[in-house]
Amino acid sequence: MPKSFSFRVLATDGAARRGEISTPRGTIRTPAFMPVGTAATVKAMFPEHVRAAGADIVLGNTYHLMLRPGAERIAALGGLHRFMQWPHPILTDSGGFQVMSLSALRKVTEQSVTFRSHIDGAMFDLSPERAIEIQRLLDSDIVMQLDECIRLPAADADVERAMRLSLRWAERCKRAFEGAPNGRALFGIVQGGTLPKLRRESAQALVEMDFQGYAIGGLAVGEPQDVMLQMVETSVAELPAGKPRYLMGVGEPEDILLTVERGIDMFDCVLPTRAGRHAHAYTRFGKLNLKNARHADDPHPLDEASDCPAARDYSRAYLHHLVKANEILGAMLLSWANVAYYQSLMAGMREAISAGRFADFAAETRAGWAEGE
Amino acid sequence: MPKSFSFRVLATDGAARRGEISTPRGTIRTPAFMPVGTAATVKAMFPEHVRAAGADIVLGNTYHLMLRPGAERIAALGGLHRFMQWPHPILTDSGGFQVMSLSALRKVTEQSVTFRSHIDGAMFDLSPERAIEIQRLLDSDIVMQLDECIRLPAADADVERAMRLSLRWAERCKRAFEGAPNGRALFGIVQGGTLPKLRRESAQALVEMDFQGYAIGGLAVGEPQDVMLQMVETSVAELPAGKPRYLMGVGEPEDILLTVERGIDMFDCVLPTRAGRHAHAYTRFGKLNLKNARHADDPHPLDEASDCPAARDYSRAYLHHLVKANEILGAMLLSWANVAYYQSLMAGMREAISAGRFADFAAETRAGWAEGE
């Protein structure tokens, strides 16, 4: 295992890149999809199945973990990896997004954000320094800066103010991160809403500060897809080729195809597991609703060519039965099958980029989805 | 694999027996605990983990499966084993108990029981012949006669009437079962409430009919433990040594110890999985409530000497966190650990019987439970 954090591009096809992030806890093949382990668990999955499905890295949520069970407690128990039995790389977000979307009574000042826990109403204070401290206590491999995520739509002036504050917080996070063990990385987050000018300014300022990777935040929050793509293109244009690019919170397989094509290397999203808990399967043949009565007598599995036992060994009729009966095994099998499908999609993209046939792969993939409809 | 159903006693220690049931789908080591797969799933568990935990056989509920997804549908899909990905032996109950405990508007006649589904209110009719037909459609390995389970306490005359009706239904089930494929077995069910005289009459009449095994039904429904034990002793005294004896719906580990000691070979109960979904763990150290705050910082697993990954690899602190956060993984891990503990308890009893030290094993086991309190 390497002692340091590094990224190299192994192949490109247009703007799409295949690469490899090396960390002391393992290699992350990019484009990478990170299953979300919000509360120290990728919901309804055993960690060994997440791994076997092909995931090199999972995401943990600083916001959830700081509230429950608490970062100090996890540190005392040996860190997040041991706590959740995932010895491979973990990226933690900074909590900024969930403070905006989940907490009550939040108040943002230059110094920090204070908010009320959505679990028990307790008051918390999250500064850039504390966000880094929490992620260090968790012993995260890839640490995210604290940013201010504002709800869209918002006035341009508010978007600009939040972006500038996020830049100042980026600097404070960078200082707070100094002295982290070798091999841990800190990523900056490009903000700026849907305003190209602000996105460029944010990206340029962050690149000036020199992070080990760059995320694009504040997208996939309801804006039209073409706006999201334009913001990705605008941001990516400012980012260095030699550093990984992470599009936060994305997304649907189609969005992943479209943004890998535009040079994104990393993704996270709750969709595969959330959909799995709500009777939906992502497959080569598109998205299926297993609650639908047309599956009730179908002896075929989700995908008989899949390597994933959940997708290969159980009939659609059985999955339909499980979800109709609200059986936990339904959520378990569909979450597993979905995470495995996402990982196989990423593996397919990586291969296609190396072979210089990303466009063909994307077309074939979309044709498969259409076939199932 | 044998083509027929057979049972042999391998060792005895007092009234306790170690034995082996051979079936075309596999061997069942007795004393055996059958995890309950009510709706074609041992709740919150993958079938391969049920198997790896040491289960040779699971139980399926005729009542639930006839209502949803329907016996004819399961038959068209290749039978219950294929449907739920459990290629090993399955015992199905007859539906009698759940008709009593779950359905509405039930009406018992000489011919059958009619009742309203608790799921959608549809009317169903279950006769002895239909109960056998359903279990044949499911392709069950061990089929149970239909019986009338009455709620206790009940007037002696009502208990007697239900017991006599169950005997007449046993005869009809036996006729209906004629022509079943080789290797499938039909068990009669001893009824008679808490009245020794009725229990004896029921057992004697069933033995006269000559079933391949005998269950003791209508116990562990709220009566005092000493009454339950007395009914078990009374019933077992009438049953032939060469046939397996199954105590339905039992139970707590202590009840299993006490009734293996009295000659019982088979058990089923929802406890290990139900407790697992409600934050409770059965362990060598007794029953633990993982919701209890004393586990919040405990780095130790449930049992570091366990072969079960769920009991061995995850800290009590993590399990506490999962159950507090209502994470599905909490139910998954605790159900798995509980089923594994029950199976290890059965394995321990089997070994102890062979070694002629069942009483010592029981004492050691109880001392372990007391230690954890």
DSSP sequence for B289-319 = ETTSGGGTT--SBS-TT-S-HHHHSSBHHHH
**Is the per-residue pLDDT at A34 higher than 80?**
yes
Question: Catalytic annotation on A268?
Answer: yes
Q: Higher-confidence residue: B222 or B328? A: B328
pLDDT digits (tens, 9 = 90+) for A175-230: 999 999 999 999 999 999 999 999 999 999 999 999 999 999 999 988 999 999 99
How near does any CA of chain B get to the CA of A159, in Å?
34
A129 confidence band (pLDDT: 50, 70, 90): very high
Two structure tokens written together for B170: 């046993």
* Per-residue confidence (pLDDT) for residue A373, from 0 to 100: 65
* Per-residue confidence (pLDDT) for residue A298, from 0 to 100: 98
Of B85, B321, B329, the CB nearest to A314: B85
Q: Give the best residue of B48, B118, B270, B321 to mutate against chain A (max A CB count within 10 A).
A: B321
**Is the per-residue pLDDT at B156 higher than 80?**
yes
pLDDT digits (tens, 9 = 90+) for A258-268: 999 999 999 99
Q: Tell me how many degrees the CA angle B244-B245-B246 measures, rounded to the nearest 5.
A: 120
- Residue A111 falls inside a structural domain: yes
- Residue B52 falls inside a structural domain: no
A102 confidence band (pLDDT: 50, 70, 90): confident
**Relative orientation angle of helices A225-238 and A253-260, to the nearest 10 degrees:** 30
A103 confidence band (pLDDT: 50, 70, 90): confident
* Per-residue confidence (pLDDT) for residue B105, from 0 to 100: 81
Judged by CB atoms closer than 8 Å, whether chains meet at B329 and A85 is answered as no
Judged by CB atoms closer than 8 Å, whether chains meet at B328 and A43 is answered as yes
* Per-residue confidence (pLDDT) for residue B373, from 0 to 100: 65
B293 and B213 in a common domain: no
Q: Which residues of B touch A73 (CB under 8 A)?
A: 296-297, 317
How near does any CA of chain A get to the CA of B124, in Å?
19
Spatial CA neighbour of A18 closest among A269, A263, A185, A341: A263
How near does any CA of chain B get to the CA of A30, in Å?
28
As a whole-number percent, the residues of chain A with pLDDT over 70 amount to 99
Q: Give the distance between the most distant pair of CA atoms in chain B.
A: 60
What does the alpha-carbon distance between residue A39 and residue A59 come to, in Å, rounded to a whole number? Answer: 10
- Specify whether the CB–CB gap between A126 and A99 falls below 8 A: yes
Q: Which residues of B touch A37 (CB under 8 A)?
A: none
Which residues, numbered 43 to 82 in chain B, qualify as contacts with chain A under a Cβ-Cβ cut-off of 8 Å?
A: 43-46, 68-69, 73, 76-78
Q: How far apart are the first and last CA of chain A?
A: 45
- Residue A367 falls inside a structural domain: yes
**Is the per-residue pLDDT at A166 higher than 90?**
yes
B218 and B115 in a common domain: yes
Q: Which residue has the tokens 């690149």?
A: A207
Helix (H) or strand (E) holding A78: none
Q: Higher-confidence residue: A373 or B156? A: B156
What does the alpha-carbon distance between residue B255 and residue B269 come to, in Å, rounded to a whole number? Answer: 11
How near does any CA of chain A get to the CA of B365, in Å?
30
Q: Touching check for A315 and chain B: CB below 8 Å?
A: yes
Q: Give the best residue of A43, A45, A46, A300 to mutate against chain B (max B CB count within 10 A).
A: A46
Q: B296: nearest CA in chain A? A: A69
A103 and A235 in a common domain: yes
**What is the residue range of B341's domain?**
276-371
Helix (H) or strand (E) holding A188: strand A185-190
A100 and A202 in a common domain: yes
What does the alpha-carbon distance between residue B366 and residue B261 come to, in Å, rounded to a whole number? Answer: 14
How near does any CA of chain B get to the CA of A92, in Å?
18
What does the alpha-carbon distance between residue B145 and residue B158 come to, in Å, rounded to a whole number? Answer: 20
B371 confidence band (pLDDT: 50, 70, 90): confident
Two structure tokens written together for A218: 């504040």
A142 and A282 in a common domain: no
How near does any CA of chain B get to the CA of A319, in Å?
10
Q: Is B372 helix (H, G, I), strand (E, B) or coil?
A: coil
Judged by CB atoms closer than 8 Å, whether chains meet at B76 and A297 is answered as yes
Helix (H) or strand (E) holding A196: helix A196-209
Of B41, B299, B315, the CB nearest to A329: B41
What does the alpha-carbon distance between residue B328 and residue B323 come to, in Å, rounded to a whole number? Answer: 8
Q: Which residue among the candidates B93, B139, B141, B255 is catalytic per the annotation?
A: B93
What does the alpha-carbon distance between residue A264 and residue A233 come to, in Å, rounded to a whole number? Answer: 9
- Residue B36 falls inside a structural domain: no
pLDDT digits (tens, 9 = 90+) for B274-304: 999 999 999 999 999 999 999 999 999 999 9
Q: Which positions ≥6 away from B369 have C-beta within 8 Å?
A: B253, B284, B285, B286, B287
**Residue that finishes a domain, picked among A269, A285, A316:** A269
Q: Higher-confidence residue: B92 or B1? A: B92
A153 confidence band (pLDDT: 50, 70, 90): confident
**Is the per-residue pLDDT at B219 higher than 70?**
yes
Q: Is B172 helix (H, G, I), strand (E, B) or coil?
A: helix
Buried b / exposed e over A112-138, threshold 16 CB at 10 Å, is: bbbbebeeeeeebebbbbbbbbbbbbb
Which residues, numbered 218 to 237 in chain B, qualify as contacts with chain A under a Cβ-Cβ cut-off of 8 Å?
A: none
Of A40, A313, A332, the CB nearest to B321: A40
Judged by CB atoms closer than 8 Å, whether chains meet at B39 and A78 is answered as no
* Per-residue confidence (pLDDT) for residue A152, from 0 to 100: 82
What does the alpha-carbon distance between residue A319 and residue A334 come to, in Å, rounded to a whole number? Answer: 8
A74 confidence band (pLDDT: 50, 70, 90): very high
Of A44, A69, A320, the CB nearest to B329: A44
Of B43, B85, B324, the CB nearest to A327: B43
- Residue A352 falls inside a structural domain: yes
**Is the per-residue pLDDT at A80 higher than 90?**
yes
Q: Is B344 helix (H, G, I), strand (E, B) or coil?
A: helix
- Residue A51 falls inside a structural domain: no
Q: Which positions ≥6 away from A122 have C-beta within 8 Å?
A: A67, A116
DSSP letter string over B39-79?
TSS-TT--HHHHHHTT-S-EEE-HHHHHHTT-HHHHHHTT-
B20 and B95 in a common domain: yes
Query: In chain B, where does DSSP find H-type helix?
Result: 47-52, 62-67, 71-76, 80-84, 96-101, 128-138, 156-177, 196-209, 225-238, 253-260, 271-277, 309-312, 316-324, 328-354, 358-371
Q: Which residues of A touch B45 (CB under 8 A)?
A: 329
Which residues, numbered 77 to 116 in chain B, qualify as contacts with chain A under a Cβ-Cβ cut-off of 8 Å?
A: 77-78, 83-85
Q: Mean of the pLDDT values across residues A369-373? A: 84
A294 and A254 in a common domain: no
Q: Touching check for A132 and chain B: CB below 8 Å?
A: no
Q: B293: nearest CA in chain A? A: A69
**Is the per-residue pLDDT at A3 higher than 90?**
no
B167 and B120 in a common domain: yes
- Residue A40 falls inside a structural domain: no
Q: Which residues of B touch A83 (CB under 8 A)?
A: 315, 317-318, 321
B208 and B112 in a common domain: yes
Q: Which residues of B touch A78 (CB under 8 A)?
A: 299
pLDDT digits (tens, 9 = 90+) for B69-111: 999 999 999 999 999 999 999 999 999 899 888 878 889 999 9
What does the alpha-carbon distance between residue A339 and residue A350 come to, in Å, rounded to a whole number? Answer: 17
What does the alpha-carbon distance between residue A91 and residue A96 come to, in Å, rounded to a whole number? Answer: 14
Can you say whether residue A70 is alpha, beta or left, with left for phi > 0 and alpha for psi between -120 and 50 degrees? Answer: left
Q: Tell me how many degrees the CA angle B361-B347-B258 measures, rounded to the nearest 5.
A: 50
Q: Which residue has the tokens 């890839």?
A: A142
B151 confidence band (pLDDT: 50, 70, 90): confident
pLDDT digits (tens, 9 = 90+) for A283-321: 999 999 999 999 999 999 999 999 999 999 999 999 999
| Complex ipTM more than 0.95, yes or no | yes
pLDDT digits (tens, 9 = 90+) for B248-273: 999 999 999 999 999 999 999 999 99
Domain count, chain B: 2
**Residue that finishes a domain, picked among B269, B293, B318:** B269
Q: Which residue has the tokens 């002391």?
A: A24
B130 confidence band (pLDDT: 50, 70, 90): very high
**Is the per-residue pLDDT at A6 higher than 70?**
yes
* Per-residue confidence (pLDDT) for residue A86, from 0 to 100: 98
Mean pLDDT of chain A: 96
Q: Which residue among the candidates B56, B139, B268, B303 is catalytic per the annotation?
A: B268
Partners of residue A48 on adjacent β-strands: none
* Per-residue confidence (pLDDT) for residue B103, from 0 to 100: 78
- Residue A358 falls inside a structural domain: yes
Q: Is the backbone peptide bond immediately before A224 cis, with ω within 30 degrees of 0?
A: no
Q: Mean of the pLDDT values across residues A347-358? A: 98
Q: Mean of the pLDDT values across residues A341-348? A: 98
Partners of residue A185 on adjacent β-strands: A142
CATH, residue B242: 3.20.20.105
A198 and A167 in a common domain: yes
Q: Touching check for B327 and chain A: CB below 8 Å?
A: yes
**Residue that finishes a domain, picked among B240, B269, B298:** B269
A247 and A296 in a common domain: no
What does the alpha-carbon distance between residue B284 and residue A60 come to, in Å, rounded to a whole number? Answer: 33
Q: Tell me how many degrees the CA angle B29-B33-B37 measures, rounded to the nearest 5.
A: 120
Question: Catalytic annotation on B298?
Answer: no
B213 and B98 in a common domain: yes
Q: Mean of the pLDDT values across residues B21-37? A: 98
Q: How far is CA A195 from CA A33, A175, B32, in A?
A: 27, 28, 67
Judged by CB atoms closer than 8 Å, whether chains meet at B76 and A41 is answered as no
Residue B227 Cα to chain centre, angstroms:
20
